[in-house]
Amino acid sequence: MEVNNKRIAINTIIIYLRMIITTIIGVYTTRIVLGSLGVSDFGLYNVVGGVIVMLNVISVAMNSTTIRYLNREQGDPNGNLNKIFNLCLDLHILGAVFLLLLAESGGILYINYLLNVPPSKVSDAMFVFQVSTLTALVGVINIPYQSLLQSFEKFDQVAYVDILTALLKLFFVFFLKGWQGNPLRFYALGMAMITFVSFFVYTFLCQKQWRSIVKVRFYRDWNKLKEIFVFNNYVAIGAASYLGRSQGSTLIVNYFFSTAINGAMSIAYQVENYLIMFVTNIGRAASPQIFQSYSTDINQSIKLTAQVTKYSSALMILIVFPVFVSIEWLLELWLGNVPEGAVLFCKWTLVSALLRSLSEGLTTLVQANGKIKYFQIVGGGLELLCLPIAIVAFLLGAPSETMIIIYAVFTFLFLGARLFMMQRILKMNILPFIKSVYIPISEVLVGCVLFVFILKKFQQINGGIPLLGAVEVGIVAFGLLIWLCFTKNERITLKEKMMAKFNLLSK
């Protein structure tokens, strides 16, 4: 099968345009929400409303499973897309029921007995939790419809819906500023209504284009249902471990410290989410091609994965280092009043996100193979191991940012484990992969770290403009990437594309 690189490029451009627009809107929206709720209520929403974070993590697992099986069915001349869609929809409904039972048991017990919050805020916390749970249930059922659009590579339509959702959130928070009642409850209700709008738009688009595929039917193919269920469970191990790490760290920090610290930590996690969106979008655009080409040309799938990993890491380098040297200025510009501890949290989050980008693409390749059991179990175990270590550290008097430092260390260990497992599962020689991807990326990282160290020393002596320092670091990082990371053919291709764009603009 010939891989349609042009289609991947178009999909990537569409996804990045969507991401840039939604990120700009999201950043401004967060500033308004933080100012309207205050640091304590903002932290409370992120602790109690963490079921929405749970939705985002679960959706990644279920979304990738649904896309994988839909893409495989598209490549089968005798495939039945309606059957696969309905089986996936059944699993998502079961997943929503499981989420409801989990939330209504463990969540309520946590709020009543463990949540570190003033007594006057307990009723608000319970209200936010119930509304957020309902929002999460609708979001889980929405996943098959969103996955169907992505499996047909309708990324432009997904972009339109996401931009609409971001604009609705921005429109809503302007009302939040002048709301005279309880702003925390009003905010939770607003986020729920916007999720419902997104659900109706996705279902409408799918009904309009693929009515025969999304027509609800009941299939008694228990073997296929079991196959999808088992595969999704193994994928969910990775998602659940990330969920356990992120939400567990939030709960642990709340127990040892306060909701104000949770507010600062929530800012750092939002920064991490925006950064991860940048790198995962490259993999998202290429994942249909990786899945479809694996059965006929595994070498092409490996080549695509290497490109995804290298380009994702390169993009993260271009973002992380300029942001790192100007983080104080950027947070003040973004938030106005920066919560105490947010700067330090964000710096370590940048390091963690950069290390995480080095694994981008590896999971998709293993999922294409299908043998994901031990890959997910080992990775999930390392992810969750952060939590007991952090608890011990806090009991010994460690500061709150220790949580993210521990996670950064384990993210690096996670990369090594993933490479080892990928080599065992795919029976491939991992050394050429390391040589083509990680050696040049490591050289660039060393060069950037040295330059940032020199720049910081220079600014301490002579002062400095944060934005100017960020531009300088960005230029150096770009130069090092072109020189050390890209091959001769990649540099020629990049030059030709840049010249073509320049000639087009000059006409």
Q: What is the pLDDT of residue 444?
A: 92
**Residue 171: count of CB within 10 angstroms of its CB:** 12
For residue 475, give both structure tokens: 């230029």
Q: What is the pLDDT of residue 253?
A: 82
Kindly report the three-state secondary structure assignment for every residue of 364-402.
HHHHHHCCCHHHHHHHHHHHHCHHHHHHHHHHCCCCCCH
- Tens-place pLDDT, residues 153-162: 787 888 888 8
Q: What is the pLDDT of residue 439?
A: 92
pLDDT higher than threshold 90 for residue 200: yes
Lowest mean pLDDT among 211-220, 292-301, 344-353, 479-488: 292-301
Name 439's Cβ contacts closer than 8 Å, sequence gap at least 6.
none
The CA-CA-CA angle for residues 378, 380, 382, to 5°, reads 70
Rg (CA), the chain: 23
Give the burial string for 326-351 (b: 16+ CB within 10 Å, else e).
bbeebbeebbeebbebbbbbbbbbbb
**Cα separation of 111 and 113, whole Å?**
6
Q: Which of 298, 293, 365, 292 is nearest to 69 (CA)?
A: 292
Q: Which alpha helices (H) appear in 103-210, and where do they start and end? A: 108-113, 122-151, 155-177, 183-209
Question: What is the DSSP annotation of 247-304?
Answer: HHHHHHHHHHS-HHHHHHHHHHHHHHHHHHHHHHHHHHHHHHHHHHHHTT-HHHHHHH
**Cα separation of 22 and 441, whole Å?**
29
Name 79's Cβ contacts closer than 8 Å, sequence gap at least 6.
72, 73
Q: What is the pLDDT of residue 446?
A: 93
Contact between residue 85 and residue 148 where contact means Cβ atoms under 8 Å apart: yes
pLDDT higher than threshold 70 for residue 496: no
Name 258's Cβ contacts closer than 8 Å, sequence gap at least 6.
43, 116
Q: Which amino acid is at 256?
A: F
Q: Which of 279, 270, 412, 241 is nearest to 345 (CA)?
A: 270
Name 158's Cβ contacts closer than 8 Å, sequence gap at least 6.
18, 146, 149, 150
Name 377's Cβ contacts closer than 8 Å, sequence gap at least 6.
234, 237
CA 232 to chain centre: 18
The residue assigned the tokens 């050390």 is 484
Contact between residue 99 and residue 237 where contact means Cβ atoms under 8 Å apart: no
- Tens-place pLDDT, residues 295-345: 677 788 888 888 888 888 888 898 899 989 888 888 888 777 787 788 888
**Cα separation of 301 and 66, whole Å?**
19
Range with the largest mean pLDDT of 3-17, 85-99, 247-261, 356-370 = 85-99
Question: What is the DSSP annotation of 206-225?
Answer: HHHH-HHHH-------HHHH
For residue 26, give both structure tokens: 């999201």
Q: What is the mean pLDDT of residues 78-90?
A: 85
**Confidence band, pLDDT 50/70/90 cuts, at residue 61:** low
Q: Which of 173, 147, 187, 143 is nearest to 41 (CA)?
A: 187
**Cα separation of 478 and 448, whole Å?**
10
Q: What is the pLDDT of residue 392?
A: 92
Question: What is the DSSP annotation of 4-70?
Answer: -HHHHHHHHHHHHHHHHHHHHHHHHHHHHHHHHHHHHHHHHHHHHTHHHHHHHHHHHHHHHHHHHHH
Contact between residue 107 and residue 51 where contact means Cβ atoms under 8 Å apart: yes
The residue assigned the tokens 């020689």 is 429
Contact between residue 426 and residue 366 where contact means Cβ atoms under 8 Å apart: yes
pLDDT higher than threshold 80 for residue 57: no
Overall size of the chain counted in residues: 507
| Average model confidence (pLDDT) across the chain | 80
pLDDT higher than threshold 80 for residue 273: no
Q: What is the pLDDT of residue 267?
A: 81
Q: Which of 123, 137, 141 is nearest to 52 (CA)?
A: 137
What SS3 state is found at 117? Answer: coil
**Confidence band, pLDDT 50/70/90 cuts, at residue 236:** confident
Percent of the chain at pLDDT > 70 equals 86
Q: What is the pLDDT of residue 169?
A: 86
**Cα separation of 66 and 158, whole Å?**
16
pLDDT higher than threshold 70 for residue 499: no
pLDDT higher than threshold 70 for residue 212: yes
**Cα separation of 289 and 67, whole Å?**
11
Q: What is the pLDDT of residue 59?
A: 62
DSSP state of 119: G
**Cα separation of 67 and 282, whole Å?**
16
DSSP state of 464: -
- Tens-place pLDDT, residues 27-43: 777 777 777 777 677 77
pLDDT higher than threshold 60 for residue 129: yes
Q: What is the pLDDT of residue 461?
A: 42
